[in-house]
Amino acid sequence: MSRKARAVIDLDAIRHNYRLAKSMAPQGRALAVVKADAYGHGAVVVANALNQDADAFAVACVEEAVSLRENGIEKPILLLEGFFDGEDLKAVQEYNLWTAIHDLGQIESLKNWHGSQPTQAWLKIDTGMHRLGIPPELTRSAFEQLSSLPHISEVVLMTHFSCADELDNPATHDQIDCFNRACDGLNAARSMANSAGTLGWFDALADWQRPGLMLYGASPFVGSHPFGDKLRKAMSLRSEIIAVRDIPPGDVVGYGATWMAEQSTRVGTVAMGYGDGFHRQAISGTPVMVNGQMTKIIGRVSMDMITVDLTGLTGVNIGSDVEFWGETLTLDEVAPWYDSVPYTLTTCLTPRVHREYLNR
C-alpha cells in the first residue's frame, strides 16, 4: 500500500454496537443496516463480522443484496426500497430476499408474480415522513391483500421516523400514534425504530429494530445521551504527513489563498483530499490530531492533499500519523466543522481510502 490514506475499522466495536441495539428490546430482533457499503465501512466485511449475531441484514437495493449473497451471507436480507421491476422480482426470488412494499402498484405486481419460494413482505406505512409508504388509511386493505398471496410467507408492518434524533420534537410521538392506529387489530410483527428510535424512544421499540448509524459508533443525537454515550467508535480516518515546510508571516496556503500566516508557521501536507471523499467544505480551523497532538486544518482541502498547522508540535515530521476522526476526535464532534453529519463523512469515503480491519 503506497498511499497513506486509510480507514481503520474495529469490527469488535460494530459487534458491540449491534448487541447494544438488541439489548434495548431483548424480546425483539434487529436488522443490521449495511446499505451504502455499510456506511462506508465495507458491507461484505461488516456483514461477515456480524453474521453470528445479526438476526437479518438490510440494504437499500438489489445490487447491494446480491453482493452480500455472492460473498457468502446467508442470513435474511431486506430490500429497504423494495423492488421496482420484473428484474428486481427475479432477484428477490433467485437470491431469497425480503422486500419492502411501499406502493400499491407493487402489490399488483406481486399478484401477477408466481414465485416458487415464499418471501417476507415489509409493508411500509407513511406516517409523516412523506418519502415512501402507503397512506395509513389503506394499511388494512394492503395488509389483507399481501397476506392472501400464497408466495408471501409473512407481512411485517413498518414505518420510518423523520425527527427521532430530536428528542424534544413531538413529530415522533405523532408518528408512533399514527402507526399504532393504522396497525390496530392486525396480527403482524412491527418495526419502527431506526438508530435514534432504538436508543431514544422506548415507545418505538417493537418486534424489529433497524440500527444503522449507531452500528458504526456515531450517536444519532446532538450532545450527550445516556445510551448514545455507550456506543464504541468503529472508524478512525488516518493518513500521514508527506511534506513539511516553514513559511513567514504574511504568506498564504492553498488554493484561493484563503489562509494567511499571522506568524512564522510550520505547515504539514497530508495525503488526504476530496478525491478520497474527504469533505471539501472542511474550513480552516477544523481540528485534527497529529502524533496525538491537537492541531487544525489550514487552507482549502484539495483533491489529494490537506495542509495542517504543525507550529509548536513536538516530534512531528514526514511520516507522522494524522487522525481526522476516531477515538480522540469523534465523528459527532467534527461533523459540524465539515458542515455535515456523521452519516456523510463515512459514507462518502472513496475506494482510494484503504480499509484496514481490526478484530476480524
H runs (alpha helix) in the chain: 11-24, 35-40, 43-50, 62-70, 86-94, 104-111, 139-147, 171-183, 195-200, 331-334, 342-347
CA angle 114, 120, 125 (to 5 degrees): 110
Q: Write out the DSSP string of 146-186.
A: HHT-TTEEEEEEE---SSTT-TT-THHHHHHHHHHHHHTT-
Catalytic residue among 22, 35, 124, 233: 35
**Active-site pick, 39, 90, 216, 255:** 255
> Rounded to whole angstroms, how far apart are CA atoms 75 and 30?
12
* CA separation for the pair 142, 124 (Å, rounded): 10
Contact 88, 66 (CB under 8 A): no
CB 250 within 8 A of CB 261: yes
90 is catalytic: no
Pick from 98, 93, 69, 66: nearest CA to 82: 98
- The C-alpha angle 184, 187, 191, rounded to 5 degrees, equals 75
Cα–Cα distance for residue pair 335/331, rounded to 1 Å: 6
Contacts of 79 (CB under 8 A, 6+ apart): 59, 60, 61, 62, 65, 88, 92, 97, 98, 99, 100
Long-range contacts of 173-176 (CB under 8 A, 24+ apart): 173/203, 174/127, 174/128, 175/127, 175/128, 175/129, 176/127, 176/201, 176/203, 176/204
Amino acid residing at 251? D
Active site residue 35: yes
Q: Report the residue count for the chain.
A: 360
> Mind telling me the catalytic residues?
35, 255
